[in-house]
Structure 1
Amino acid sequence: MTEHILLHVVLLLTIAVITVSLSRRLHFPPILGYIIVGIIVGPNGFGWIQKEENIELLAEFGIVFLLFAIGLEFSFSQMYAMRKQVFGLGTAQVFTTAGVIYLIGTLAGLDTNTTIVIAGAFALSSTAIVIKQLTEQSEIQSRHGRSAVGILIFQDIMAIPLLILIPTLALSGGDDGVLTWALTMAFLKGVLVVVIMHLIGKYLLRPLFHEVASAKSQELFTLTVLTVALSAAAFTEGMGLSMTLGAFLAGMMLSETEYRHQIESDIRPFQDILLGLFFVTVGMLISIEILASHFWMVIAVTLAIFIIKGAILYLVSRLFKKEGGVSLRIALSLSQVGEFGLVLMTLAFTYKLLPEEIGNILLTAAVLSMSIAPFLVKFNGKIAKRLHKSSYTMSHHEIENTIAEDNKHIQDHVILCGFGRVGQTVSRFLHNSNNRFIALDMDIKRVHEARAAGESVYYGDASKENILNAASLSKAKSVIITFSDFHASMKILKTVRRLDPNIPILVRTLDDQHVNELTEAGANEVVPDTFESSIMLASHLLLMIGEPPSQVLKQTRNIRKNRYKTLENFYPGEDDNPLEQHQVMKGIIHTVLIEGSMFSVGKTLKELKLTDFNVHVEAIKRGHIRGERPSVETALRLDDHLVLSGLPEDIERADKFLKTGRQN
């Protein structure tokens, strides 16, 4: 039996490697690759693997770890910042879509439980596909992109009560009175579970992870993370609720600790592999025979999903006063069924809430909608412009006219593409040197804030010819692209170079992976963040170990000379003081090893009051475990590495205090 299961796993992995590789080559989501693997090897495909309970069990763990990871990333601050999109648009879309689909299911003669499952599953869209595609197209900060993300956040929140609902429906047996009672009990159990998990997280998890970190064992830390996630899942399942709810709540509790990033990196391999297995099992449920015998039914259901969800999304967006073109782009982006919809339907199969034939037709249609989704997201702009030409033209004309009218006399200016942290820093240098600039950004909130403060910043897509012409590209003396997104930079770069083959263009990128591509596309200079930071780190190191400043500066100049030819004149001469020229070098990060009979042993960060020295505690490292942003209640122990940041003189005073207790 063991050999039989092992052969199945090897077969799965081999076909998965081939299929997922092909999916990536064709720019299809990996999820679809895993589903195709399931179709190929499953009992409804070639039958190489019959239904295996062991594989299904592993797949369920994949969903547990997915929800655990989502809990770790659950950000209340992000939700608050996007509350109108999340709780306005999101609420309206989910409940309206679910209501309409429930009505259609009832009219079609489906029983209540089946209709509820379908309505809940089809109301959700694919977070993985939509966000990935919007990011690649540099549309995540656009008007339709931000609205789509807000709706997806609410859908992910709603997935949790829906996951609670499935086992509750199974217990009710179709009796309305029993269902009402079961839902009431599920709600009360849910509240009780949330309270218990909150108390456990507050009073047990943080001390537990402090102790585990002090053991300085990577294996023990990973084992503890797995134990906490699976124990929470077992607890909620034992309470008669979905085990995924427990995993989600455990993730939320641990997201409040300083070990969040370490936990996330430890859990990621388990999540990715087991989640892939889940989508394989989804593929195993899809019947090629049913697809062939009910082909037109599957196509009709798929089209109905797009039409019904798309229409509701469009109308809801219009009710929230979105423009016609923006509303259509939101509708096209989110009109598919998502991975949580597949999770709900798979769970419903487990609890016998979906009839096999109807369930397979609906599941096949849902998967088909996911396979079409990347293309709809990719071409949403072109489709919207064709169908809402007047709306789009009017909106773009207003933006262009504003930029052109405000800057009709400007010349010899810099066009600044992107007004994030890097863009704002560049703008201050330009302002201080009396150089005029026009900044273009797609974050409407940032633009409003900056314009209210009197900055020359405008909402506009810098990859569009009309926007660049309105910003007087022909009279500008340089363009700088500060976006970290490679795809966005390439789009802007190609447009600028097409309009003006000779204007100097400076491009910022995160690393030197795409330097050659950007240079070939027309960038005069490409400044990689990691490349530049490595030069600065090396400069720090050489100065700290006693190398002469003139020698350090000579080395950095020689390195930069090969990469940044036009910038070499901006660097100081060999006889200048580098600390006056490079203001970045003022602040340092320093690690203090807590050892021996040091004053700080056993004392909490609150007692030490390191903020009085103007230094910041970045992290505490115990063994192989690094805890970011530790709690002020954390007590220092022998062999802890305390990571501090601040000015060198402040760090020196704090270091002396930690060792001796003396402040002077």
Structure 2
Amino acid sequence: MPEALWISFAFVLGLTVKAIGLPPLVGYLAAGFVLSGLSAATGLAIEATNVLEHIAHLGVLLLLFTVGLKLKLRTIISPEVIGGSLLHFGITCAVFTPGLYLLMELTWQTAFLLAIALSFSSTVLVAKVLETKRELRAFHGRVAIGILIMQDLIALVVMSLAAGQTPSQWALVVFGLPLLRPLLFRLLDASGHDELLVLLGLLLALVLGGLGFEAVGLSSELGALVLGAMLANHPRAQELAKSLWSVKEMFLVGFFLQIGIGGLPDGDALLFAAVALLVVPLKGVLFFFLLLAFRLRSRSSFLSALSLTNYSEFGLIVASVALPEWLVPLAITVALSFVVSAPVNRLSHAVYERFSARLARFESQRRHPDEQPISLGNTRLLVMGMGRTGSAAYDQLAHEEPLIKALDSDPAKVEKHQKEGRNVVFGDAEDISFWQGLHMPAVEAVILAMGDIEGKLIAARNLRKKGFTGYIVAHTLYADEAERIREAGADEAYLTMSETGVALASQVLHRNRQAPPPMENANA
């Protein structure tokens, strides 16, 4: 099968570009173009087969399904996310459309669709860069991801309109899908953590979402997104997304290969890509000033804007439906933007520090609520992270110490604890700006109860950097992680399971001491 050789070739080039710090999908696109070049040079017929096209389509559906799994309303319902994304989209289209129409002598429709494709930023690249830097939950990371989700929704609307599908009368059944949510939640709970979980994701994304929506005359892409969004509020939604990550990435290899095999870029395509690459910094500049207008600090605005300064694989997906003849030029454009954006974003903090004095002049005097400095006042005990462990520690200590406060990076969780009467405020330990604005004059002890090891390490280091000399204690599952937490500055790091075993043993010993001795057998 030729597909096996193509995938092998894609792996080699993907591994090669990864070794130099670029996203592997740049290698997949390059593999497709190289195969197309071999076809032209040798006369061999190397064309995208039905199998490859099907794999590519499955990759797009799984990508949209995983986007849907992240589609929580609290992620996108904020002025900076909704306003920033819509204003950026509108201004970009308003500027790019007449420019493309006049400079390239295109029709207005083609110019408008190209402007739409160029307005998006890369979900794949930004998520990977933020994850690598452990900044997905930082304020600027959440803003960037929220804007990307809004862009993905816009892309989906454009694709549905461009496809021109006429829904059947059975399409009204879709409005009854929310009634299936309790059943879907039960299926997700019953699927465990292994292969059944992956199969459930494939069933929902490809069968119910893809084929189901196509059967009633609706877009399969819309179906995949809707089915994912229906599960977004389930506690295991992110576990499902992670379990599908590798499968999705594998199928998307077919999508990028298909684009490259479609034909080599000519001079016009390369010129288009070069000009688009020169223009891409303007995307970042526009995002920067729009986010400043929504009262973000210059640092958050800059970091969010820089991560969004690239072109998107969603632009290619839109083009595959609406502008298939422009796929190759857009593919070159996206690849070049990744080549530039990936290394620049690794240096984002250093770049900001260099220009911070100039950029800070554009800040508004009014600050965003999530970026206000936090003062702990007379708080003596601080709990960081209010999951199950943090909540249990807080409740136990609150009986003896009224001057206790907790921080958590999940706004919904903060609101829940506040309604239950706990003194919890928003604060993200993985956000450097949080530590710059934190005042804790009376704190004597800190409990690090965040879920991930990186958050605990960052918190321990920054507490000591701020000159905190009090007691820092944490918990973890693994002995090697406990050692790393101590090295970062914590006084002690307890092994969760070991302490649980000690607590269980203590309960048994306590009961035995309290229970009367067993009566001796009278016949003994």
Provide TM-score, normalisation by structure 2: 0.74
8 Å Cα contact 2:429/2:458 also seen in 1: no
* Matches of 2:143 and 2:216, distance apart in 1: 36
| Matching residue within 323, 331, 347 for 2:305 | 331
Instruction: Report the alpha carbon displacement of residue 304 of structure 1 after superposing the two structures with TM.
Output: 0.5
Cα deviation, 1:415-453, whole Å, max 9, x if unaligned, reads 544455544443333332327556555567777898997
1:29-178 matches, cutoff 5 A? 29-43=23-37, 50-54=46-50, 55-71=52-68, 73=69, 75=71, 77-78=73-74, 82-108=77-103, 109-168=105-164
How do 1:270-289 residues align onto structure 2 when only pairs under 5 Å count? Answer: 270-285=247-262, 287=264
Picking from 364, 368, 379, the partner of 2:332 is 364
- Answer whether contact 2:375 2:440 (CA < 8 A) is retained: no
Determine what percentage of the aligned residue pairs are the same residue.
Answer: 21
Query: Which residue in 2 is equivalent to 1:487?
Result: 454
Is residue 58–residue 277 contact of structure 1 (8 Å, CA) maintained in 2?
yes
Instruction: Tell me what 1:298 maps to.
Output: 273
1:518 to 485, 510, 524: 485
Q: How many residues align?
A: 497
- Cα deviations across residues 508-541 of structure 1 (Å, max 9, x unaligned)? 4465674444344444433455x45xx74x78xx
Which of structures 1 and 2 has the bigger CA Rg? 1
The 1:458–1:343 alpha-carbon spacing in structure 2 relative to 1, beyond 3 Å, is closer
2:206 aligned residue: 229
Are the equivalent residues in 2 in contact too, given 1:201–1:254 (CA < 8 A)?
Answer: no
Distance 2:373 2:200 in 1: 60
Distance 1:14 1:139, change over 3 A: same
What secondary structure sits across from 2:375 in the alignment?
helix
**Structure 2 Cα separation of the partners of residues 465 and 236 of structure 1:** 45
RMSD (CA atoms): 5.0
Distance 1:322 1:205, change over 3 A: closer
Where do 1:434-583 residues align within 5 Å? Answer: 434=401, 436=403, 439=406, 455=423, 457=425, 459=427, 467=435, 471-472=439-440, 477-497=444-464, 504-509=471-476, 514-527=481-494, 531=497, 536=500, 553=505, 572=506, 575-577=509-511
* Residues 184-199 of structure 1: pairs in structure 2 closer than 5 A: 189=166, 194-199=171-176
Unaligned runs of 5+ in 2: 515-524
Amino acid across the alignment from 1:434: E
- Where relative contact order (Cα < 8 A, 6+ residues apart) is larger, the structure is 2
Counterpart CA distance in 2 for 1:103 and 1:343 is: 23
Unaligned runs of 5+ in 1: 1-5, 169-185, 540-548, 554-571, 581-664
Once the two structures are overlaid, the 10-residue window that deviates more, 30-39 or 462-471, is 462-471
Shift of residue 576, structure 1, vs aligned partner = 1.7
Task: Check if 1:343 corresponds to 2:317.
Answer: yes
Q: 1:86 to 1:383 in 2, by over 3 A?
A: same
Q: Which moved more, 1:263-272 or 1:380-389?
A: 263-272
Counterpart among 274, 280, 285 of residue 311 in structure 1: 285
Structure 1: distance between partners of 2:113 and 2:451: 41
Partner of 2:519: none
| Superposition TM-score, scaled by structure 1 size | 0.60
Contact residue 229 and residue 250 of structure 1 kept, 8 A: no
Task: Note if contact 1:222-1:266 (Cα within 8 Å) is conserved in structure 2.
Answer: no
State how far apart, in whole Å, the 1-side matches of 2:156 and 2:513 are: 54
Please report how far the alpha carbon of residue 258 of structure 1 lies from its aligned counterpart in structure 2 after TM superposition: 12
From the superposition, tell whether residues 125 and 510 of structure 1 become closer, same or farther in structure 2 (CA, over 3 Å). farther
Residue 493 of structure 1 aligns to which amino acid in structure 2?
A
Residue type at the aligned position of 1:61: L
| Equivalent AA in structure 2 for residue 110 of structure 1 | L
Q: 1:482 to 1:382 in 2, by over 3 A?
A: farther
Structure 1 Cα separation of the partners of residues 216 and 89 of structure 2: 27
Contact 1:438–1:456 at 8 Å: present in 2 too? yes
Q: Which amino acid aligns with 2:148?
A: L
Mapped contact 1:130–1:377 kept (Cα < 8 A):
no
Counterparts of 1:204 and 1:389, CA distance in 2: 47
